[in-house]
Chain A
Amino acid sequence: NAGVTQTPKFRILKIGQSMTLQCTQDMNHNYMYWYRQDPGMGLKLIYYSVGAGITDKGEVPNGYNVSRSTTEDFPLRLELAAPSQTSVYFCASSYSRQSNTEAFFGQGTRLTVV
């Protein structure tokens, strides 16, 4: 049972480069999310999706883009990497139902922009 899988686990980018963080889940969850976790800080929501074809901005969306073409996949795109985007990124998913709202997290991607 894979759960939520993120790739890569680590990445170093130069300023101005672009990359895509991959996220896939095999639990048939309708909700998926991207969070970033800065040192000593909590998790901040970047983007989320309530289902295939639907995405919306979270608390800190600037500098990122997402797409949700399938239920399973929710990639996060950084177009012009900046040092402020150095962080640990977590993808998560949940099944939106009153009785079951647990968010399952991926193992994280540590991104450094130099």
Chain B
Amino acid sequence: GENVEQHPSTLSVQEGDSAVIKCTYSDSASNYFPWYKQELGKRPQLIIDIRSNVGEKKDQRIAVTLNKTAKHFSLHITETQPEDSAVYFCAASWAAGANNLFFGTGTRLTVIP
């Protein structure tokens, strides 16, 4: 099955700086790559996703890039704010439904005011 690796496991940045989280996947058939944010004690929530026919997608301060040849994708957060502090999970899937949504191990992002 799919194997998703995520780095780094922890990341601390100063408020206003950028944060980058990277993921690699093993199954070349994967074509859907969502990112979830999980605040302390809360449920994971989708923040952005990208499909294999797109190389980059932006939503305000968040962007995701995808390199299908190298089988890696990254989350970029610019102008970080304290409320960005959370655990971020990447995932990969090759089906329309999420039954085979394989998650990375998560990155704990801390934004220092």
Residues of A within 8 A of B (CB): 30-31, 33, 35, 40-45, 48, 50, 56, 58-59, 90, 92, 94, 96-98, 101-103, 105-108
Which of A45, A90, A97 is in CB contact (< 8 Å) with B99? A45
B61 partner residues in chain A, CB cutoff 8 A: none
Q: List 29 A-B contacts (CB under 8 A).
A: A30-B97, A31-B97, A31-B98, A40-B9, A40-B105, A40-B106, A42-B6, A42-B104, A42-B105, A43-B103, A45-B99, A45-B100, A56-B99, A59-B1, A90-B43, A94-B97, A96-B95, A96-B96, A96-B97, A101-B32, A101-B34, A101-B96, A102-B34, A102-B46, A103-B46, A103-B101, A105-B43, A107-B43, A108-B43
Of all chain B residues, which has the CB nearest A107? B43
CB pair A42–B101 under 8 Å, yes or no, is: no
Complex Cα distance A106/B38, Å? 12
| CB closest residue in chain B, given A42 | B103
B2-57 residues at the A interface, CB under 8 angstroms: 4, 6, 9, 32, 34, 42-46, 49
Within 8 A of A (CB), among B83-99: 89, 93, 95-99
CB distance from A54 to the nearest CB of B (A): 11
Complex Cα distance, B44 from A44, in Å, reads: 13
Q: A107-B42, A107-B43 are in contact. Are A41 and B106 (CB under 8 A)?
A: yes
Inter-chain contact B6/A31, CB cutoff 8 Å: no
A50 neighbours in B (Cβ, 8 Å): 97, 99
Contact A101 B97 (CB under 8 A): yes
Whose C-beta in chain B lies nearest to the C-beta of A43? Answer: B103
Contact A105 B101 (CB under 8 A): no
